[in-house]
Amino acid sequence: MNKIIIGITGASGSVYAVRLIEELCSHGKELHLIFSETGTEVFRYETGISPEEFIGKLNTPINKPTLHSNTDIFAPPASGSFIADAMVIVPCSMATLGSIANGSLRSLLGRSADVCFKERRKIIIVPRETPFSRIHLKNMLELTDAGAVILPAMPAFYNHPETVNDIVDFTVARILDQLNVENSMIKRWNGQEPCDHSSF
């Protein structure tokens, strides 16, 4: 997987996108970033910087990610002839989830997702909401049936996370696994090992 589109929406969890983009850049991947309008606002609120500043600060030896405007329906990801290997929507709001599930697409982010479905390309959706309504669950089922991987930002604790970064990296590592990007961000489960519960 070398050319990857990343959609960032207005769900909480900008840090997941930050860590994913950093990791993919360190692997020299070609990234195309699309922030929804609310995604830009929430990103700025949660990280303290704008998407442009974040990209400027990225330490990328090879490719800087390309930032596309969500209103630029003429941008390359809007066409099936732009061959992306995969798209990840992280974090994915229930609003974007619903619009994609229902084919109601009025932005570059939504159109790019729709293109991935019609071209039968890999699409990974990282929803963030709790609790889920019946409508959210129905939309996720619809997207699963259409071929998406629903990969919720849902931490595990059997790996004994010690920091917020550990918790974030658990989900990011699972996204990288789906993209077939080798990573050692998490300790892989290798059967039960003795653990130290002294911190409890």
Ligand X SMILES: Cc1cc2nc3c(=O)[nH]c(=O)nc-3n(C[C@H](O)[C@H](O)[C@H](O)COP(=O)(O)O)c2cc1C
40 contributes a contact to ligand X by CB under 6 A: no
List 5, 6, 10, 51, residue binding ligand X (CB under 6 A): 10
List 28, 45, 80, 133, residue binding ligand X (CB under 6 A): 45
Given a contact cutoff of 8 angstroms between Cβ atoms, the answer to whether 132 and 143 are in contact is no
Kindly state the tokens that stand for 101.
């599930």
Q: Does 11 belong to an annotated binding site? A: yes
Q: Which stretch binds ligand X (CB under 6 A): 89-97, 163-171, 175-183, 188-196?
A: 89-97
Amino acid (one-letter) located at 102: N
12 contributes a contact to ligand X by CB under 6 A: yes
129 contributes a contact to ligand X by CB under 6 A: yes
Amino acid (one-letter) located at 75: A
Given a contact cutoff of 8 angstroms between Cβ atoms, the answer to whether 80 and 5 are in contact is no
38 contributes a contact to ligand X by CB under 6 A: yes
Kindly state the tokens that stand for 180.
């077939």
Closest CA to 181 of 61, 59, 22: 22
Name the DSSP letter for residue 196.
Answer: -
List 6, 16, 39, 122, residue binding ligand X (CB under 6 A): 39
124 contributes a contact to ligand X by CB under 6 A: no
User: Which of residues 30 and 129 has its CB atom nearest to ligand X in the complex?
Assistant: 129
Q: Are strands 66-68 and 30-35 parallel, antiparallel or unpaired?
A: parallel
The site for ligand X (CB under 6 A) is made up of 9-12, 36, 38-39, 42, 45, 93-96, 128-129
